[in-house]
Amino acid sequence: MRLFESEHEQFRDSARRFFQAEIGPHGERWREQGCVDREAFRKAGEQGYLLMWADPQYGGAGVQDFRYEQILIEENNRYGEGGFFMTLHSRLVAPYIGALGTEEQKSRFLPKCVSGETILGIAMTEPGAGSDLAGIKTRAEDKGDHWLLNGSKTYISNGQIGDVFIVVARTDPQKRHGLGLFIVERGMEGFRRGRNLKKMGLKAQDTSELFFHDVKVPKNNVLGEPGKGFHSLTHFLAEERLITAAGAISVAQNAFDVTLQFVTERKAFGQPIGTFQNSRFKLAQMRAEIDALQVYVDHCVMEHNAGRLDPVTAAKVKLLTTELEGRVVDECVQLHGGAGYMDEYPICRMYTGARISRILAGSNEIMREIIGRSLELDDRKLTKA
């Protein structure tokens, strides 16, 4: 029993038709070219699927209910293209502008983000700083009427097609958490993109290096208070981990579905391979685990809607769902046999695409660290005691 009401199911029906007609048919071409067409964002914008939470004065629907985004994640994974990162645009990056931006910033950026004309990205990760945000070395210096930005970022989603990036930079070299958030726009002098990085999976999703050499960032492109960026980043990480969890459990479900169909149709020794005890037991285990964690994800969605999703719970659901996703896609490849290794079968792409889930939004090692410290097993405190 899922948590959706009749209006959600109506929305799902329309979203499914959109992904089947406008996104899924282009997947193979996008994977070959290494990025989605910008038109995909504009088409999603026309349907009202981008920044649904945004106030109507900026073109949004003013819908805060995360269940609608959950439906988009599920339907895109099933019928669209996993490399179409519209949720990153809508729910990972844009909320920084919505929550921290001035009225001028929101009026300047949000309408085109809602329409899909402007594509967003966020630049946190660096060659020497991934899950540890405090290790960021990109720096921003206050020059009076502007900030001067220098440094580099890597593994940045929407890096090639993005127009506006929220860049995390160090504003105070003396403070470990002295970070600021800066809006860098396409065409700013000194800002350039590196190559489109070749990846194991999600090949339709462009992932890039970004370089900043004496980029002059106007004062009206600073988000929130300079030096308080670390607090803002940690505040938004709970939703990022919930998004990852919702995506991971939907991929696990899709992998299960295509595998169940495959083992029903494929025969060995004169009978469907699904009828062998090994196949039945493996699918039974997967069915039970997917159902259990789907309930947990749905619970966290409702907690998030109520403003009660805390960082530790978000870490738990992200950890468990992405670990399950990894096990399920691996088992499903095995049940496909040689076909599972062929790119023409969806399970092959699910397998390679799923591997990033245990790394992004904070690696699962970091998730275990967060959960462990919540049990008062913090070595920094225990060793001092």
Catalytic residue list = 240
Nearest to 251 by CA among 328, 344, 348: 328
Are 362 and 237 in contact by the 8 Å Cβ rule? The answer is: yes
CA terminus-to-terminus distance, the chain:
48
Compute the distance between CA of residue 339 and CA of residue 172 in angstroms, rounded to an integer: 54
Are 119 and 89 in contact by the 8 Å Cβ rule? The answer is: yes
Q: Is 289 helix (H, G, I), strand (E, B) or coil?
A: helix
Compute the distance between CA of residue 49 and CA of residue 115 in angstroms, rounded to an integer: 9
Which helix H or strand E contains 271, and what residues bound it?
A: strand 271-272
Nearest to 235 by CA among 303, 317, 309: 309
Compute the distance between CA of residue 53 and CA of residue 98 in angstroms, rounded to an integer: 9
Are 200 and 350 in contact by the 8 Å Cβ rule? The answer is: no
Compute the distance between CA of residue 241 and CA of residue 239 in angstroms, rounded to an integer: 5
Residues 6+ apart with CB under 8 A from 368: 319
Compute the distance between CA of residue 369 and CA of residue 378 in angstroms, rounded to an integer: 9
Residues 6+ apart with CB under 8 A from 238: 304, 309, 310, 311, 313, 314
Task: Report the Cα 347 to chain-centroid distance in Å.
Answer: 20
166 — phi, psi (to 5°)?
-90, 115
